[in-house]
Amino acid sequence: MGIPTIIGVIPIERIRAAADRARPYVLRAPMVPVEGALLKLECLQPTGSFKVRGFFAAATALPAERLRRGLITVSAGNAAQACAYTAHRLGVPCRVVMYETAPQLKIAGVKRWGAIPVLMPRDRLLAWLANEEWKKEPETFIHPFADEEVRAGHGGLGLELLEDVPDLGRVVIAVGGGGLVGGVAAALKASKADVEVIGVQSDGYPLWKRAFESGGPVSVSPETIADGTTAPFDPRMFEVLKRSVDRWLIVPEPRLKAAIPELATTAKVVAEGAGALAYAALEQLPPGPSTVAVVSGGNIDPALLASLLA
Q: Tens of pLDDT along 99-114? A: 898 888 889 989 999 9
pLDDT at 52 (0 to 100): 98
Whether 39 and 182 map to the same domain: the answer is yes
* Confidence band for 3, pLDDT divided at 50, 70 and 90: very low
Q: 3-class DSSP state for residue 96?
A: strand
Task: Tell whether 6 is covered by a domain.
Answer: no
Task: Tell whether 43 is covered by a domain.
Answer: yes
Greatest Cα-to-Cα distance within the chain, rounded to the nearest angstrom: 52
Question: Does 4 score more than 80 pLDDT?
Answer: no
* Confidence band for 5, pLDDT divided at 50, 70 and 90: very low
Whether 203 and 250 map to the same domain: the answer is yes
Whether 71 and 22 map to the same domain: the answer is no
Full residue range of the structural domain in which residue 61 is found: 53-141
Instruction: Out of 3-12, 130-139, 188-197, 258-267, pick the least confident.
Output: 3-12
Whether 127 and 84 map to the same domain: the answer is yes
- Total domain count, the chain: 2
Give residue 150's Cα distance to chain centre.
Answer: 10
Task: Tell whether 77 is covered by a domain.
Answer: yes
Task: Tell whether 197 is covered by a domain.
Answer: yes
pLDDT at 7 (0 to 100): 59
Question: Does 1 score more than 70 pLDDT?
Answer: no
Rg of the chain over Cα atoms, rounded to whole angstroms, equals 18
Tell me the C-alpha distance between 124 and 122, whole Å.
5
**Looking at 141, 170, 196, which one is the last position of a domain?**
141
**pLDDT tens digit string along 42-101?**
999 999 999 999 999 999 999 999 999 999 999 878 999 999 999 999 999 999 999 898
**Looking at 77, 108, 141, which one is the last position of a domain?**
141
**pLDDT tens digit string along 163-208?**
999 999 999 999 999 999 999 999 999 999 999 999 999 999 999 9
**pLDDT tens digit string along 214-227?**
999 998 999 999 99
Parallel/antiparallel/unpaired status of strands 140-141 and 168-174: unpaired
Task: Tell whether 4 is covered by a domain.
Answer: no
Name all contacts of 261-265 with Cβ < 8 Å and 24+ positions apart. 261/308, 261/309, 263/295, 264/305, 264/309
Question: Does 6 score more than 80 pLDDT?
Answer: no
Task: Tell whether 267 is covered by a domain.
Answer: yes
Tell me the C-alpha distance between 112 and 4, whole Å.
32
**pLDDT tens digit string along 231-253?**
889 898 999 999 999 999 999 99
CATH number of the domain residue 252 falls in: 3.40.50.1100
**pLDDT tens digit string along 151-161?**
999 999 999 99
- Residue that wins the pLDDT comparison between 4 and 186: 186
Whether 98 and 16 map to the same domain: the answer is no
pLDDT at 255 (0 to 100): 98
Whether 61 and 39 map to the same domain: the answer is no
Whether 241 and 208 map to the same domain: the answer is yes
Whether 16 and 153 map to the same domain: the answer is yes
Whether 108 and 160 map to the same domain: the answer is no
**Looking at 141, 164, 190, which one is the last position of a domain?**
141
Whether 38 and 153 map to the same domain: the answer is yes
pLDDT at 150 (0 to 100): 97
Whether 172 and 302 map to the same domain: the answer is yes
Whether 276 and 159 map to the same domain: the answer is yes
pLDDT at 2 (0 to 100): 44
Task: Tell whether 129 is covered by a domain.
Answer: yes
Tell me the C-alpha distance between 159 and 15, whole Å.
9
pLDDT at 219 (0 to 100): 87
